[in-house]
C-alpha cells in the first residue's frame, strides 16, 4: 500500500474539516487520506462515505475512530461497515485501543494509535497496535505538548514499527525533519484545512492563510481539553483570548467551538494561501525531493509492509 505514496505524508483526520473530497484528493495525489469517521452520527452517510473511500485508487485512506467506538450507540454497526469495506488502516484515538486491535486485525486491517505521551505510547504498543502516531506540541485540534525533538526519538527507542509524526508541520523541511528524528511518515492537519477540498467554512481557511504563529492560542475553555485555536476567531465570537480560564466555560449563545471558533496549529505561519490538494502535494513533493534526494523512506516503508504480511 505504501508504494503508492508520492512522499511520506498523511492528511490528518479532522472533525469539521475531513471530507470525502479531501480524502479522495489526498489518496489520488499519493498521500494517506485521513478521514474522521467517529463523529458521523448517522449510519447511512457513514456507509456512503466508506463506499466512496473504497473506490479511491492511489494511496490508502485512513479512518479515524475513538478507541471506545464499540461502546457508542452505533459503534458496532460502524465497525461492521468498516469490516465490510475492509478498511486497510484505522487510526484510533483517545483511550485504550485493545478492543479495536482485535477487531481491525480480524478483517486484515492495520491499526495505528494516536498518542501524546510516552506512557500512552507504551500502553498502545502493549495492546498490539501496528503503528503509532505521535501528536506533538503545536498541533491543531487537541494538541500534544511534547517537543518532537525529544518525543519522537524517545518513542523510537521503544518502537521499531510504523511511526507517524504530527504537529506544526506544513512544508518539506518539516517532512524531512520527521525522517531525521526517526519517524516514517509526517502528518499535516492545518495545512490540509487550507485547501478547497476541506469541509470548513471559507473564513476558517482564510484565517489560516492570514494568521501567524503568534495568532494561535492554547485553551481548554472551549471543551475542557487544551486545544489550539485561532485568536482572531475567538475575538470574532466575542471572547477575550487574554481572559480565558483553564477550564470549560459557557460559550456565547449560538456559538459552537470547532464550527464557529476555529482550530489550527502552529504551522499557520508557513501557510500563505488556499491551495488545491493536487497542487499542494505536487509542490511539496518537488520541494521534498530536492531536500531529501535519497528514497530511503520508501525502502523502510516497504520493509514495514513486508513485516505486516
Ligand atoms: C480542526 C481540527 C480538528 C481535528 N479533529 C481531530 C479528530 O477528530 N481526531 C483526531 O484524531 N485528531 C484531530 N485533529 C488533530 C489532527 O489529527 C492532527 O493531529 C493535527 O492536525 C496535526 O497538527 P497540525 O494541524 O499542526 O498539522 C484535529 C485537528 C484540527 C486542526
Q: Is the CB of 66 under 6 A from ligand 1?
A: no
Residue bearing the bigger pLDDT, 41 or 106: 106
Q: What is the pTM of this model?
A: 0.96
Question: Ligand 1: which of 10, 11, 12, 120 to mutate, most ligand atoms within 8 Å of CB?
Answer: 12
Ligand 1 close to Cβ of residue 228 (< 6 A): no
Let me know whether 103 and 191 are in one domain.
yes
- Kindly give the number of the ligand 1 atom that is closest to the alpha carbon of 144: 19
The ligand 1 atom nearest the CA atom of 188:
27
- For residue 144, give the 3-state DSSP assignment: strand
Q: Is residue 204 part of a domain?
A: no
CB 187 near ligand 1, within 6 Å: yes
CA of residue 29 relative to chain centroid, distance: 17
Residue 206 is assigned to a structural domain of this protein: no
Report how far ligand 1's centroid is from the alpha carbon of 74 (Å). 23
- Asked which of 263, 282, 298 is the last residue of a domain, the reply is 263
Same domain membership, residue 125 and residue 62: yes
User: Are 162 and 280 in a shared domain?
Assistant: yes
Report the CATH number at residue 285. 3.20.20.70
**C-beta of 37 in contact with ligand 1 (< 6 A):** no
Kindly state if the Cβ of 167 falls inside 6 Å of ligand 1.
yes
Main-chain dihedrals φ then ψ at residue 4, nearest 5 degrees: -85, -5
Average pLDDT over residues 173-194: 98
* pLDDT 10s digits, 248-260: 999 999 999 999 9
Check whether residue 71 and residue 188 sit in a common domain. Answer: yes
- CA of 266, closest atom in ligand 1: 26
pLDDT range class, residue 43, cuts 50, 70, 90: confident
Verify that 147 and 57 share a domain, yes or no. Answer: yes
How far are the Cα atoms of 5, 175, 249, 283 from residue 273, in angstroms, in the given order? 24, 19, 32, 13
The mean pLDDT of 119-140, rounded to a whole number, is: 97
Per the domain annotation, does 207 fall within a domain?
no
Locus of grid cell 460502524: 78
Within this chain, do residues 192 and 112 fall inside the same structural domain, yes or no?
A: yes
- Is 123 a domain residue? yes
Is pLDDT at 295 greater than 90 in this prediction?
no
pLDDT of the residue at 164: 98
The whole-number average pLDDT for the span 299-309 is 96
User: Residue 72 has what pLDDT?
Assistant: 84
171 lines ligand 1 (CB under 6 A): no
Our count of domains for the chain comes to 2
Q: Based on the domain organization, do 57 and 143 belong to the same domain?
A: yes
User: Cα(142) to centroid of ligand 1, in Å?
Assistant: 7
Mean pLDDT of 87-104: 93
Assign 193 a pLDDT band (cuts: 50, 70, 90): very high
Average pLDDT over residues 181-208: 98
Gap between the Cα atoms of 24 and 88, Å rounded: 15
Same domain for 227 and 129: no
pLDDT of residue 92: 96
Q: What is the mean pLDDT of the chain?
A: 95
Residue count of the chain, please give it.
Answer: 309
**259 and 277 both lie in a single domain:** no
- Cα 266 to ligand 1 centroid, rounded to whole Å: 12
State yes or no: pLDDT of 42 exceeds 90.
Answer: no
Ligand 1 centroid to 123 CA: how many Å?
A: 21
Out of 68-82, 161-175, 178-192, pick the least confident: 68-82
Pocket flag, ligand 1, residue 275 (CB < 6 Å): no
Same domain, yes or no, for 161 and 243?
no
**Domain end residue (candidates: 242, 263, 284):** 263
The Cα 129–Cα 187 span in angstroms is 18
Please tell me the least confidently modeled range out of 20-24, 113-117, 171-175, 179-183: 20-24
- For the residues 196-210, what does the mean pLDDT come to? 97
- Would you place residue 210 in the very low, low, confident or very high pLDDT band (cuts 50, 70, 90)? very high
Residue 226: domain span:
212-263
Same domain for 162 and 304, yes or no, is: yes
| Residue with the three cell numbers 476555529 | 262
CB of 198 closer than 6 A to ligand 1?
no
Ligand 1 pocket member 135 (CB < 6 A):
yes
Question: Are residues 177 and 36 part of one domain?
Answer: yes
Report DSSP letters for 254-280, one per residue.
T--BTTTB-B--GGGGG--S---HHHH
What pLDDT sits at residue 152? 98
- pLDDT score of 179: 98
261-276 residue pLDDT tens: 999 999 999 999 999 9
Distance 167 CA to ligand 1 centre (A): 9
Is residue 133 scored above 90 in pLDDT?
yes
Amino acid at each position: 500500500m505504501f508504494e503508492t505514496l508520492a512522499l511520506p505524508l498523511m492528511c490528518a483526520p479532522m472533525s469539521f474539516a475531513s471530507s470525502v473530497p479531501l480524502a479522495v484528493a489526498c489518496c489520488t495525489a499519493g498521500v494517506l487520506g485521513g478521514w474522521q469517521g467517529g463523529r458521523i452520527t448517522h449510519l447511512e452517510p457513514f456507509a456512503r462515505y466508506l463506499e466512496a473511500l473504497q473506490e479511491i485508487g492511489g494511496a490508502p485512506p485512513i479512518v479515524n475512530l475513538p478507541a471506545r467506538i464499540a461502546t457508542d450507540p452505533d459503534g458496532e454497526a460502524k465497525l461492521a461497515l468498516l469490516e465490510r469495506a475492509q478498511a486497510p488502516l484505522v487510526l484510533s484515538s483517545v483511550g485504550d485501543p485493545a478492543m479495536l486491535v482485535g477487531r481491525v486485525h480480524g478483517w486484515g486491517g492495520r491499526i495505528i494509535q494516536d498518542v501524546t505521551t510516552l506512557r500512552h505510547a507504551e500502553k498502545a504498543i502493549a495492546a498490539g497496535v501496528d503503528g503509532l502516531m505521535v501528536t506533538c506540541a503545536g498541533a491543531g485540534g487537541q494538541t500534544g505538548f511534547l517537543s518532537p525533538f525529544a518525543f519522537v526519538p524517545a518513542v523510537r527507542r521503544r518502537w521499531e514499527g510504523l511511526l507517524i509524526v504530527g504537529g506544526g508541520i506544513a512544508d518539506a523541511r518539516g517532512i524531512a525533519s520527521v525522517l531525521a528524528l526517526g519517524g516514517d511518515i509526517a502528518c499535516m492537519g492545518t495545512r490540509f484545512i487550507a485547501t478547497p477540498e476541506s469541509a470548513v467554512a471559507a473564513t476558517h481557511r482564510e484565517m489560516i492563510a492570514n494568521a501567524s504563529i503568534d495568532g494561535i492560542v492554547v485553551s481548554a475553555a472551549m471543551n475542557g481539553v487544551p486545544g489550539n485555536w485561532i485568536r482572531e476567531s475567538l475575538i470574532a465570537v466575542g471572547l477575550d483570548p487574554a481572559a480565558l480560564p483553564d477550564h470549560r466555560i459557557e460559550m456565547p449563545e449560538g456559538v459552537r467551538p470547532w464550527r464557529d471558533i476555529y482550530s489550527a496549529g502552529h504551522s499557520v505561519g508557513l501557510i500563505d494561501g488556499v491551495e488545491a490538494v493536487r497542487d499542494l502535494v505536487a509542490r511539496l513533493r518537488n520541494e521534498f525531493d530536492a531536500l531529501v534526494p535519497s528514497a530511503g523512506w520508501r525502502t523502510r516503508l516497504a520493509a514495514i509492509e513486508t513485516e505486516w504480511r
